[in-house]
Structure 1
Amino acid sequence: MEVKPGYKQTEVGVIPEDWECSPLGELCTKIQDGTHFSPTSGRGNYRYVTSRNIGYGALDMSSAQYIDAAQHEAIYKRCDVKKGDLLLTKDGANTGNAALNNLDEEFSLLSSVAFLRFDPKRHIATYFLQQILSWEGQSRIKEAMSGNAITRLTLEKINKLEYPYPPLPEQRAIAGALSDVDALLDGLDRLITKKRNIKQAAMQELLTGKTRLPGFEGEWEEKKTEIGLIPKDWDAVTLESISDVKSGKRLPKGYYLTDNVTPHPYIRVSDMHQGGVDLSDIQYVPAGASSGISNYRIFVDDIFISVAGSLGIVGIIPKALNGANLTENADRLTNLHCDQDYLFYVMSSSIVQQAIEAIQTVGAQPKLALTRLQKFLIPLPPSRPEQAAIASVLSDMDAEIEALEQRRSKTQDLKKAMMQELLTGKTRLVVPQRVKKPEERKHNWAINEAVIVAVLANHFGTEQYPLGRKRCTKLTYLLHRHIEGDADGYLKKAAGPYNPKVKYKGPEAIALKNGYIQKYKSGKFSGYIAGDNIVQAEEYFGKWYDAGVLQWLEQFRYNKNDELELLTTVDMVTQELRKSGAAVDVAAVKAVIAQDPEWKAKLGRSVFSDSKIAEAIETVDTLFG
């Protein structure tokens, strides 16, 4: 297959020409696994981390045990895992799971986990985490394990795993973009969990009558029943008193389910999920077998419950399966004398689910006898309207949770698509080479800056988040540093570097007058967005600058204003130090900032901490050399 221009064929596939491909052993400064001897856990101050604590992209320390200092020191001397290291599961069912160590504390590792340490001046650990978690990355791990009797990655094989990578700025941009989606997924997970917990609490209140809905309050008088306290006007009733509990049926001897569509679909326990039935793999009763099991069908007005294997799956069938045959491993509640949805929620609640756990038979396959199910007690409000009202509240909660789950699924699909594009270089976030210098300009400085302000407003401002002056100033500074190697006219102002001439000497006024930009306010955000005549500004920009300039600036799209202020401040100080022949380090940068009356207050802000200044120095070195 012909490789398109700008790309090359490698051991891991087609990648951009300016990307490299290397084994982890060459990319990492250290790769080491944990102790091969299990310590004695119990009391102690140091966590003991195993493969079960390494999830897909995240640490789960909820089950981590503790060991004493003596054991930890012996393990840590060999395996000194540090914050920022990448943790990779190398043994067991979770082999290939990986996460970044975001803990400030020391902890010990078992041999089922290895840590990978990258030099941050050359490689971004978060980027390689995304590579390992990608479909291609996981495939390489599975290939490395092929032929092993035991699911295991040796340190030798880990060192030989190869991954593609771009220059450092693009690693950082890719890691940032994918981490933003991870943060969104994490937020959705937490919100879904919260909503589920709220629903469980609501079920506990509503299905026991502890909370009565408007219109059904009455005076609270409790009465004791076998299932606990309920309102005096409620009853504890058996399932057989409000429904006919009937079993399903297996196919007659000599017949087998078929994928060929017939008029008689067959619902198995494997098709069931809490609330309903998955239609994706429905099988059918073959011709000639339906008459023998025609009395064991289920209808849309019924409720099913699994009674063998996976017990307690409760649901209502969709209209498409009305009259389908039901497996012998499930029962159905039919001829209901109560609200169907209310009964579904009671059957799904802890009231019934805990009863199932308490009386199920124990054996190769857990079972729930029909005669026992018939005797199950449930709380029942006195009227169908109250039953329906309770079910409606819980149904609304389910709809909200389902909408969030669908949103999460779409976001996960987006993440997979982004990984496929970004981690292979098919889509680039950073221009692959230094952009060309602009043509000789036959226009003055003010016109030039007016066009830059307009183009930045068009590409980095929206009606929801207009481009503010502070952010625009920092992006303009970075643009000039990237193209010309210097940013003339920028001064050490409080929020600086800042060029006052842009505001007071014409460029912003020119851009407004020419219709390149317009002032805009959205809630607490104010700034500039594109004006009616933005096309003219874009045309000028296209003549004077290479398109790669904007591609290069994309790496800063998701940086906060404070982060851009830190970066540009450190860059300006770095240039000053280098011109004077002084060394560039955190102490020297802080000294320059502290000496300036307008800048010294910056050092009191958390964004100008020693660690963040050090990180900014590294970034400046990468961006501008």
Structure 2
Amino acid sequence: MKIEAIPAEATRFKETELGPLPEEWRVVRLGDLWKQGILWIKNGFSQGDFNEQGSGVPHLRPFNVNEWGEISLPQIKYVAPPPDNSPYWVYKGDVIFNNTNSEDLVGKVAYFDREGKFVLSNHMTIVRVQDSKVLNGAWLAKWLLHLWYQGFTQTLARRHVNQASISLARLRSIPIPLPPLPEQRAIAYVLRTVQEAKEATDRVIAALRELKKSLMRHLFTYGPVPVDAIERVELQETEIGPLPAHWRVVRLGEVASVDWGNTSLTKSVYKPVGFPAFSATGQDGYCDFYEHEGEAVIVSAIGARCGKCFYAEGKWVAIKNTIIVKPIEGMTEARFFYYYLDDERRWPRGGSGQPFIAIGKAKMVPIPLPPLPEQQEIARMLQAVDARIEAEEKKKAALEALFKTLLHHLMTAKIRVKTLS
């Protein structure tokens, strides 16, 4: 599709209930388009009898719509298919509106661009464009997403116990600014292009994370050798699995100091800026003082993330519910420790409802000890992958910010585009 910008000087604005809009845009309500037969709107159906083994057809639920206006299918519930002539089938090009959810999530919306047979739950609503000469479904989905970001959709919701809902009548009351169809198509195209770039970045990040997992398995089994050289690596069987024969297995407390974080400090001491502060959830605040300097591994010692590790360097603070692992300088590499220990399975945990790591057991955790140069090379290789992941995550964040900015400017006509005939 070829598009071009509409020069700002070519736009004359008028005042509307939605604010200043181009004179050629008209404000209508979803209900007006519904009455004219341009839109068809219907809720899905409830179904308690479902499975996750793929028997039947996918039953779209609120968690299948993400915050970026996309269909998300990491988790799918399947139900018995309705008759072929059922009104509950979802078709490519439909707009899927989340009518019931928590107060902050109600009103999520996605453009359905999938192939295959799908139905949806009663917490979802089909908004189907029946006259594509008047309205573009992808544009409509983005307009409703814009309203959700602005908090407007949530104002339509009725509050219930632990959830909120938007009735069909209130959904039909939503106002929309209706640009000419070429402009609708161009807006949808621009926004979809940014979304596709973000999705491509997501795939790169996922691939890099899988690469890192494979690389870690290789490095902590064979050491920093090429894949085609692993047959020449002599291995030994140890309590933590096969390792190169020249590596040792030691207890963590033999090669590092292992102590509690400051048990008298809580997040109440956090300041807006200062030295990095670590809690059981990671580096999540700052203090106007520091208690440690240099490299260390901070271990989450209690709660849902028990065993999760974080890397600290420079000047920093570790508050209660953490364990500080400081490797012996000149003998061990802190980042090597971090990469090896950042695996909850390596840590013996006590408790049931609230898991925890006892300091005595932490000191007895077995770890591999390669020669220092090999530790450093392993850390360097994994750092290189982490740097790639970080760069891609920054790119993704920039694309997300660009998407939201463009969405706002395009829907309020601060930026205008149209398709070329």
Q: Is structure 2 residue 130 aligned with structure 1 residue 130?
A: no
How many Å apart are 1:256 and its aligned residue?
A: 5.4
Q: 1:306 to 1:37 in 2, by over 3 A?
A: closer
Q: 1:366 to 1:284 in 2, by over 3 A?
A: farther
Q: Is structure 2 residue 10 aligned with structure 1 residue 10?
A: no
Q: Which runs of 5+ in 1 are unaligned?
A: 286-293, 431-554, 557-622
Q: Is structure 2 residue 412 aligned with structure 1 residue 408?
A: no
Number of equivalences? 398
Partners of 2:48 and 2:158 in 1: CA distance = 27
AA partner of residue 306 (structure 1): S
How many Å apart are 1:218 and its aligned residue?
A: 9.5
Partners of 1:271 and 1:65 in 2: CA distance = 31
AA partner of residue 186 (structure 1): E
Decide whether the 8 Å contact of 1:208 with 1:229 is kept in 2: yes
Q: 1:268 to 1:231 in 2, by over 3 A?
A: closer
Aligned partner of residue 316 in structure 1, secondary structure: strand
Q: 1:5 to 1:410 in 2, by over 3 A?
A: closer
1:373 is matched with: 362
Alignment of structure 1 residues 207-226 onto 2, 5 Å: 207-209=220-222, 212=225, 219-226=232-239
How many Å apart are 1:129 and its aligned residue?
A: 1.4
Decide whether the 8 Å contact of 1:248 with 1:329 is kept in 2: yes
Decide whether the 8 Å contact of 2:40 with 2:127 is kept in 1: yes
How many Å apart are 1:105 and its aligned residue?
A: 2.8
How many Å apart are 1:49 and its aligned residue?
A: 2.0
Partners of 2:268 and 2:374 in 1: CA distance = 45
Q: Is structure 2 residue 354 aligned with structure 1 residue 359?
A: no
Instruction: Please report the RMSD computed on the Cα atoms of aligned residues, expressed in angstroms.
Output: 2.9
How many Å apart are 1:308 and its aligned residue?
A: 1.7
Q: 1:200 to 1:261 in 2, by over 3 A?
A: closer
How many Å apart are 1:317 and its aligned residue?
A: 2.4
1:343 to 337, 362, 368: 337
Partners of 1:152 and 1:126 in 2: CA distance = 23
1:179 is matched with: 192
1:92 is matched with: 101
* Of 236-245 and 87-96, the range deviating more from structure 2: 87-96
1:385 is matched with: 373
Partners of 2:155 and 2:223 in 1: CA distance = 57
* Of 305-314 and 144-153, the range deviating more from structure 2: 144-153
1:349-402: CA deviation from partner (whole Å, max 9, x where unpaired): xxx42133x634222x33211112111112221x11111111111111111111
AA partner of residue 412 (structure 2): T
1:282 to 279, 283, 286: 286
Q: 1:211 to 1:302 in 2, by over 3 A?
A: closer
2:6 is matched with: none
1:421 to 391, 409, 413: 409
AA partner of residue 51 (structure 1): P
1:287-316: CA deviation from partner (whole Å, max 9, x where unpaired): xxxxxxx9xx33222221111223233223
1:574-593: CA deviation from partner (whole Å, max 9, x where unpaired): xxxxxxxxxxxxxxxxxxxx
2:170 to 157, 181, 185: 157
How many Å apart are 1:191 and its aligned residue?
A: 0.8
Partners of 2:46 and 2:199 in 1: CA distance = 33
Decide whether the 8 Å contact of 2:280 with 2:322 is kept in 1: no
Q: 1:393 to 1:144 in 2, by over 3 A?
A: same
Partners of 2:367 and 2:286 in 1: CA distance = 32
More helix by share: 1
Q: 1:259 to 1:67 in 2, by over 3 A?
A: closer
1:436-482: CA deviation from partner (whole Å, max 9, x where unpaired): xxxxxxxxxxxxxxxxxxxxxxxxxxxxxxxxxxxxxxxxxxxxxxx
Q: Which runs of 5+ in 2 are unaligned?
A: 1-9
Q: Is structure 2 residue 279 aligned with structure 1 residue 269?
A: yes
Q: 1:78 to 1:246 in 2, by over 3 A?
A: same
How many Å apart are 1:111 and its aligned residue?
A: 0.3
2:65 is matched with: 54
Aligned partner of residue 175 in structure 1, secondary structure: helix
Decide whether the 8 Å contact of 1:92 with 1:112 is kept in 2: yes
TM-score between the two structures when normalised by the length of structure 2:
0.85
Alignment of structure 1 residues 581-600 onto 2, 5 Å: none
How many Å apart are 1:181 and its aligned residue?
A: 0.7
More strand by share: 2
1:567-624: CA deviation from partner (whole Å, max 9, x where unpaired): xxxxxxxxxxxxxxxxxxxxxxxxxxxxxxxxxxxxxxxxxxxxxxxxxxxxxxxx6x
1:127-175: CA deviation from partner (whole Å, max 9, x where unpaired): 1111122266551111112655422222222111222231111000111
Q: Is structure 2 residue 301 aligned with structure 1 residue 327?
A: no
Partners of 2:273 and 2:17 in 1: CA distance = 46
- More RCO (CA 8 Å, sep 6+): 2
2:298 to 304, 307, 313: 304
TM-score between the two structures when normalised by the length of structure 1:
0.59
1:9-65: CA deviation from partner (whole Å, max 9, x where unpaired): 222222222112222222342111111343454674422222222223222234223
1:317 is matched with: 312
* Greater C-alpha radius of gyration: 1
Q: 1:347 to 1:270 in 2, by over 3 A?
A: closer
Aligned partner of residue 182 in structure 1, secondary structure: helix
Decide whether the 8 Å contact of 1:259 with 1:283 is kept in 2: yes
Aligned partner of residue 170 in structure 2, secondary structure: helix
1:244 to 249, 257, 261: 257
Q: 1:407 to 1:43 in 2, by over 3 A?
A: closer
